[in-house]
Amino acid sequence: MAFIKEESEDLKIEQVFTLKKEEPEELTELKPPKVEDEDEDEFDLMTIVESIRAERTAERDETTSIFTCQVCAMSFSEQSDFDAHIADYNKKRPYTCCQCGKEFRQIGSLVTHKKFHTGEMSLTCKVCGKSFASIYSVKSHLRTHTGERPYKCSHCGKAFISSGARCAHIRIHTGEKPFKCSLCGKSFTYRSALASHKTVHTGEKPFKCSLCGRSFTYRSALASHKIVHTGVTSFSCKVCGKSFPFNCNLERHINVHTKKKKNKCKECGRRYTSKGALTQHQRFNHTA
C-alpha cells in the first residue's frame, strides 16, 4: 500500500478527477466489487497510473494550462487561479457594504473595501499618488502605468491587468448577465454595472474626494477627478504632445489623429474610437 500512496501523491491524481463535475446521467452505474488476486490488482493500478501520467505529460507538453473550466472553457496553469475563477460563479455574497451596496464573499474583503469610503488608504502608487488598501490592488493598478496585461481572453485575445477583469470580460462572449436589479428588473453583465445602475434609483454618490469633498456616482469618475488635484500625467502623445494619466486614455486619444473607429457594436453596427466608448454604448442601449 506504500507504493499506491507514493504514486498518488506524485501524480496528484485528485486534481485530475476534481476538475470536471459529471452530470447525473453521465455517472457510471455502481457494480458489485470484483474479486481478483493481488497480482491483478497491482497490474490494473499500475496501468491506470501510467495512463494518467502519460496524459498529464502530454498536457504539459501541449500547453501549460492544465486546469480547464467546464463552464467557459478558460484554462489556468495554477490551481489557485482556477479555484478563484470557479468561485466567481458562486453568487452567494453575504457581506454587504452599507454605504454603496457592494457585496462580498468574505468579511475581510468588505473591511478592505470600506477603506475606499473612509479614506484609510495605506499604500500609495509612486507614479500617480493614488492610494490603495491592499498590495494586490497596488500591483494591479501599476499595470495601468506600465501597460502590462498578462491575463489574456481565450476567446478573442484581449488582455487584462487582472484575472478578475478577464473573468468578467468573458461574460461578453457567453452572453451571461447574472446581475439583476431588484427595483426594475434590468440585468447586467458586470456586478459593478449593477451597483452603478442602482444609483439611478437612489441618487447616491458614494465616492467622495478626500481632498475637496466632492462626491461622485462612479469610482472611475472620482479617480479622474483626483488628477485635477495631483496634476500627474504619465503618458504623452507623440503626435501632439498631450499627456494623460493612464495608458488607456492615451490609446483612446490617438484615434483622434488616426480617425479609426475599429470598435463596432454587434447589435446596431455603430462604431467607436475606443472599447470603453463601445462598452458604455452597449450598457445603456442594448442591456436587457
Does the domain at 233-288 match CATH 3.40.50.2300? Answer given as: no
75-232 shares its CATH topology with 233-288: yes
- Residue 277 identity: A
The answer, as to whether pTM is greater than 0.75, is: no
Q: What is the pLDDT of residues 149-161, one digit of tens each?
A: 888 888 898 888 8
Helical (H) or strand (E) element with 67: strand 67-68
The single-letter DSSP state of residue 123 is E
CATH topology (fold) of 75-232: Double Stranded RNA Binding Domain (3.30.160)
The residues spanned by each domain of the chain are: 75-232, 233-288
Distance CA(208)–CA(49), nearest Å, equals: 59
DSSP 163-219: HHHHHHHHHHHHT---EE-TTT--EESSHHHHHHHHHHHH----EE-TTT--EESSH
Q: What is the pLDDT of residues 206-254, one digit of tens each?
A: 888 988 989 887 777 887 788 778 777 678 888 888 887 777 778 778 8
The single-letter DSSP state of residue 239 is T
| CA 202 and chain centroid, separation | 27
